[in-house]
Amino acid sequence: MKKNREITGGPLHICVVLAALFAAGCKQESTEVFEGRPGGSIRKPPGSEWERIDNPGEDGWGTEVLTAKISGQLKKLGALISGEEKESPEAFATIAAATFSCGPLRPGNLELVFKEPPLEIRRRRAGAGSPSPLPAYRAPRGLARAIESFSLEWKNRPEVRASFKVYGVTEKNGTIETTQHLAIFARGGEGLVEEHSTWTTRWEKNGEKAEPLLSSIAVDHFEQIRNASKAPLFTDRTGAVLGSNPSFRRQLQLGLNHWLNRSQDNRFFALLGTPGLALGDVNGDGLDDLYVCQEGGLPNLLFLRNPDGTAADSSAASGANWLDSSRAALLVDLDNDG
């Protein structure tokens, strides 16, 4: 009968044995390669599967598909307006149809509605029955000339931004009509220029998969703002108003990403990080106070305004520091006592 062998020796011998076993395990693990992909690579997410699921065309939402295509065309047009993309006949041929026509994109009858240095605001003169301008520009080359004339206002300015927002789409008898807002911001030279306009545009279908082509532009509303000062009109004073409160530094300044990893309630809208605000005179001193909603697990905040423009945190003292996930708040005088 064999006797069980004992491993004898001091701690040094045991450490040597453990180290040898650990090294062997590490060596074996390091040679392991996952089947079907290179060692050390990360599996790609199933993007094509998600694109198939999140496909408005597959679900029958034709208007969403049209809006996406037209928004892409307007994005290209915005880049040409701002000078981000260089103008070329080929660029406009991919946007405008051969039947394209439009009048001037900046109306000539702008009326001065506000003037207080350094600001001047002009708007298109409203008048019932005033005739629409005759089409002065035709075909893709006409759109190029219309954009060239429209862009003279900010041609030599170093910073120009132009963006469209589509908010209305109708389709009838193969013709698509959209309504969109155009916002342009230009800095440099003699100050700042902003232009806001609303366009009604018509588009022709260009096959099932290709982007629609622009066939007409009508300018419905137009506003131009000039600021002779190069300084911004508004500056961020949040820190000056709320910075003396510990809740501002320890809660608000940390941001959603910080609290998202620590929150026990990640349902519904908690992931968006878009809490609501409410302004109103809570304590009857004639000054507007600020109520800030927060995600679940964080106390809502009530800041009472001081005469010097700062605000003091009164959340705990007022009992308004609820921990429930809050998306919006109303400050209402229910008994009409002011």
Q: What is the DSSP string of 204-248?
A: E--SSSSPPEEEEEEEEEEEEEEE--SS-S----HHHHHTTSHHI
54 confidence band (pLDDT: 50, 70, 90)? low
Residue 131 pLDDT exceeds 80? no
As a whole number, mean pLDDT of residues 194-209 equals 91
CA distance 128 to 119: 28
Instruction: For residues 69-79, give the mean pLDDT.
Output: 96
Residue 220 has a pLDDT of: 95
Which amino acid does the sequence have at 225?
I
Does pTM surpass 0.75? no
What residues does CATH 3.10.450.50 cover in the chain?
Answer: 62-125+134-227
Task: Indicate if the alpha-carbon torsion angle 101, 105, 111, 114 is positive or negative.
Answer: positive
Q: For the chain, what's the residue count?
A: 338
Q: What angle do CA 138, 139, 144 make, to 5 degrees?
A: 85
pLDDT of residue 201: 97
Round the average pLDDT of the chain to a whole number and report it.
Answer: 82
pLDDT at 14 over 50: no
pLDDT beyond 90 at 141: yes
User: Could you identify the residue written with the tokens 């998306």?
Assistant: 327
Domain 62-125+134-227 indexed as CATH 3.10.450.50: yes
